[in-house]
């Protein structure tokens, strides 16, 4: 993968600094992206317009050379690290080694992100290196635009997601109902049981995830409620799955809302209205429009039908009470925004479209697909039916 | 859980500062421990000898009040956050809100860990707050000593681990052999297939994990090689599982080495020698001895039998080429050390004991249990047979 990092060079030129510095493990997606190196312990990445260089421990040296996208890889031991440790202790030794590494590349001043480690920054400053915080997360901004390879990674995660949703829907469809409660395999069917099925299915498709939402009834009326306990017939069950492929580290994301048995007229109406809002967002989606405009298209539909939105009432607790969508990639929530402050959408942006309605009296409803903006519109990366009743 | 945080108060007194400050999400185990609050987005924890206070977003306010161990919980909105955002932008607004929050608690100077975010620190300094980096990770040191409740959490994760190891061993035991390669259910049995079985078992026991080692033959000769591809009869298969309980966030850790079919005499000898080194470590383990002494007991056994160790040859690439063990808890690797620089072991320390031998010509062998140091010795938290041949 060869990302276009020229915006980062531009920011460095504007700031008048020699390089951009990261000191983080690959759990930090900017680090993973800029270095192309997946490592559990913190390492240093230096970006200059001329080259990208890593500074890693001896343990990671071989792998960093063969797996990272860096032009140069250095080891702590290249800068007398063991001697520095015995003289100054481990923390100060690390700072001095980083300073020597920067000097090697002729770098006297760096920009760093908001969350750059203070210990390293203070140590570099003591060694005479200028360290300046960028308020703007420029690598995060670059990551918003995906290469074809990244889109394929998201698509692959979404295919695993479809299999997991199918497994969950099948479980709901196979459930029997006693006194309004769902039963499966002779036991009460709970949110936890459906989540386990989803997670096992994802594992078998090479994906991991820490969290899944399977929320029923009043639970489903809180957009971020994970859900727990028995599932009930006639109530909405919101299933929101956002797995990460273990090999590529890219995410998928999809939500469906189901009812086992007969939905009320109110639920049916809200589902159809959400479907309409969902289609309105997709109709609005093309390169050049803003995330705000797509979000407004959803608010227009909902408000016209008499629901509250955060646009019509910023204190609303029922109705459409979140944003229309978000970018997705190495992080499950990343740029661009499809929200009131969403900027221009461009080809290669991968976003969710997920309007929903919430009311503790009725339950929650949300429909979410994942799409990529293309030169002439968008491509939907999701292939799963949109229907309220399970089959 | 009520951890004894008095060592943190002592460090603050020594440094002559008013409080200790963290700005991180709960993926940072020090943050999770000090705040008692599990949240995916960064929040601020202030510890003073008098109280612990959190500063969180409005979204997390209710949950922080009911779930955290803080005495006080404040919201960004309590410090005019929306107005600050429109005036100064989001990053600067956050810094000013944190400064106002500190002022509310009469705090003018703070200590912070090595990896505290530079943006927050620089912003606080501009607001006149003194921010000093502690080289010593005092919260990490406090975390090394577990409460009874924490030991029970580790024990619970280890019980899930035993179930997963059993599932893996059963799979090996059920495999057939054709031309030296293992087959299961009509297909070649691979590392990946065994890992999937382990991970599914862990999920069904409430645990998650990103990585598992199932390494065969030459793969197993690299202590950190995750393993891949077909498993072979007569070769050592090293299985190292370190799951995290999804609810408590505490880890388990165990390694077993198996051979399907007949092990060579050399493998059998190395296995017995490793078993002896393992028992020697446990014999040495009691409160008051150092992690170094326990590690030395392992090196003594191996060296006496003619193997290289990193103690006898720091450049050794075969033999015993890692430490004897490590602390475990919220992090899979934490204090105390059971290694050449391991300090005094104390009651409540939970450590792994995991000697091993590595040689690309023979394969890898490792045996690992998890134990807690007690007032009069240790308790083994692991209940799984130690034997080379599968059953």
Radius of gyration of chain B measured on its C-alpha atoms: 24
* Angle of helix B191-204 versus helix B148-174 axis, rounded to 10: 140
Q: B 189-248 residues with CB below 8 A of A?
A: 196, 199-200, 203-204, 208, 210, 224, 246
Residue of A117, A196, A246 lying closest to B118 (CB–CB):
A117
Residue of A118, A131, A196 lying closest to B203 (CB–CB):
A196
Kindly report the backbone phi and psi dihedral angles of residue B379, in degrees, each rounded to the nearest multiple of 5, phi listed first.
Answer: -120, 130
Two tokens at B174?
């059920």
User: What is the per-residue pLDDT for A180?
Assistant: 95
pLDDT tier, B374 (very low <50, low <70, confident <90, very high otherwise) = very high
pLDDT over 80 at B187, yes or no: yes
Mutate to test the interface with A, among B114, B193, B223, B226 (most CBs of A within 10 A): B114
Q: Does B118 touch chain A (CB under 8 A)?
A: yes
Q: pLDDT digits over B164-173, tens only?
A: 999 999 999 9
Q: Does A287 touch chain B (CB under 8 A)?
A: no
Domain boundaries defined on chain B: 6-143, 148-380
The CA distance from A46 to A42, in Å, is 13
Overall average pLDDT of the B20-30 stretch:
96
Contact A200 B204 (CB under 8 A): yes
Which architecture characterizes domain B148-380 according to CATH? Alpha-Beta Complex (3.90)
Extended strands (E) in A262-317? none
What DSSP character marks residue B28?
Answer: S
pLDDT tier, A329 (very low <50, low <70, confident <90, very high otherwise) = very high
User: What is the per-residue pLDDT for B125?
Assistant: 97
Does residue A35 contact residue A68 with C-beta atoms inside 8 Å? Answer: yes
Measured between CA atoms, how close is A193 to chain B, in angstroms?
A: 9
The CA distance from A261 to A258, in Å, is 10
Q: Taking CA atoms, what residue in A is nearest to B207? A: A210
Two tokens at A120?
């390293």
- Looking at this predicted complex, what is its ipTM? 0.89
Overall average pLDDT of the B103-112 stretch:
98
Rama region for B48: left / alpha / beta (φ>0; ψ in -120 to 50; rest): beta
The CA distance from B184 to A24, in Å, is 41
Two tokens at A33?
């992206």
Mutate to test the interface with B, among A110, A193, A203 (most CBs of B within 10 A): A203
Q: pLDDT digits over A256-274, tens only?
A: 999 999 999 999 999 999 9
The CA distance from A206 to A156, in Å, is 10
The CA distance from A356 to A366, in Å, is 4
Q: pLDDT digits over A213-244, tens only?
A: 999 988 888 877 889 999 999 999 999 999 99
Mean of pLDDT over chain A: 95
Q: Which residue has the higher pLDDT, B82 or A131?
A: A131
- Helices of type H across B48-89: 58-67, 81-88
Residue of B92, B118, B196 lying closest to A118 (CB–CB):
B118
Neighbours of B181 (CB within 10 A): 15
The CA distance from B212 to B226, in Å, is 7
Q: Does A133 touch chain B (CB under 8 A)?
A: yes
Two tokens at B6?
């008095």
Q: pLDDT digits over B112-129, tens only?
A: 999 999 999 999 999 999
The CA distance from A108 to A99, in Å, is 9
Overall average pLDDT of the B326-351 stretch:
96
The CA distance from B288 to A301, in Å, is 70
pLDDT over 90 at B62, yes or no: no
The CA distance from A325 to A149, in Å, is 22
Mean of pLDDT over chain B: 95
Neighbours of B237 (CB within 10 A): 30
User: What is the per-residue pLDDT for A221?
Assistant: 85
Which architecture characterizes domain B6-143 according to CATH? 3-Layer(aba) Sandwich (3.40)
Does residue A321 contact residue A362 with C-beta atoms inside 8 Å? Answer: no
User: What is the per-residue pLDDT for A218?
Assistant: 87
pLDDT over 70 at B1, yes or no: no
User: What is the per-residue pLDDT for A1?
Assistant: 65
pLDDT tier, B135 (very low <50, low <70, confident <90, very high otherwise) = confident
pLDDT over 70 at B177, yes or no: yes
Alpha carbon A212 to its chain's center = 14
User: What is the per-residue pLDDT for A90?
Assistant: 86
The CA distance from B55 to B50, in Å, is 17
Neighbours of A72 (CB within 10 A): 15
pLDDT tier, B2 (very low <50, low <70, confident <90, very high otherwise) = confident
Q: Does B14 touch chain A (CB under 8 A)?
A: no
pLDDT over 80 at A2, yes or no: no
Q: pLDDT digits over B220-264, tens only?
A: 888 778 899 999 999 999 999 999 999 999 999 999 999 999 999
| Residue positions counted in chain A | 391
Measured between CA atoms, how close is A377 to chain B, in angstroms?
A: 32
């Amino acid at each position: 993968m060869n990302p276009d990092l020229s915006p980062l060079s531009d920011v460095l030129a504007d700031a008048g600094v020699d390089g951009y510095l990261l000191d983080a493990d690959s759990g930090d997606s900017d680090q993973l992206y800029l270095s192309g190196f997946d490592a559990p312990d913190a390492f240093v990445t230096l970006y200059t317009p001329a080259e990208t260089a890593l500074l890693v421990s001896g343990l990671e040296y071989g792998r960093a050379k063969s797996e990272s996208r860096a032009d140069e890889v250095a080891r702590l031991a290249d800068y007398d690290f063991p001697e520095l440790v015995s003289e100054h202790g481990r923390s100060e030794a690390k700072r001095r080694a980083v300073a020597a590494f920067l000097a090697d590349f002729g770098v006297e001043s760096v920009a760093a992100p908001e969350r750059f480690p203070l210990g390293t920054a203070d140590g570099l400053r003591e060694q005479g290196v200028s360290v300046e915080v960028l308020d703007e997360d420029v690598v995060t901004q670059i990551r918003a635009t995906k290469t074809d390879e990244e889109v394929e990674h998201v698509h692959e995660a979404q295919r695993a997601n479809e299999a997991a949703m199918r497994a969950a829907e099948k479980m709901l469809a196979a459930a029997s109902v006693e006194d309004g409660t769902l039963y499966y395999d002779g036991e009460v069917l709970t949110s936890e049981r459906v989540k386990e099925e989803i997670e096992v299915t994802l594992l078998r498709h090479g994906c991991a995830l820490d969290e899944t939402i399977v929320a029923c009834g009043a639970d489903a009326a809180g957009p971020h409620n994970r859900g727990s306990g028995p599932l009930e017939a006639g109530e909405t069950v919101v299933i929101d799955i956002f797995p990460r492929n273990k090999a590529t580290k890219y995410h998928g994301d999809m939500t469906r809302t189901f009812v086992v048995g007969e939905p009320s007229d109110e639920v049916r109406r809200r589902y159809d209205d959400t479907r309409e809002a969902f289609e309105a967002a997709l109709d609005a989606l093309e390169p050049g429009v803003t995330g705000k405009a797509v979000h407004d298209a959803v608010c227009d539909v909902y408000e016209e039908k008499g629901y509250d939105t955060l646009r019509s009432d910023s204190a609303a607790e029922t109705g459409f009470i979140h944003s229309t969508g978000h970018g997705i990639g190495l992080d499950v929530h990343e740029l661009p925004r499809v929200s009131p402050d969403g900027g221009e959408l461009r080809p290669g942006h991968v976003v969710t479209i997920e309007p929903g309605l919430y009311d503790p009296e009725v339950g929650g409803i949300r429909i979410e697909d994942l799409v990529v903006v293309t030169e002439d519109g968008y491509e939907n990366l999701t292939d799963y039916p949109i229907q309220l009743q399970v089959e």
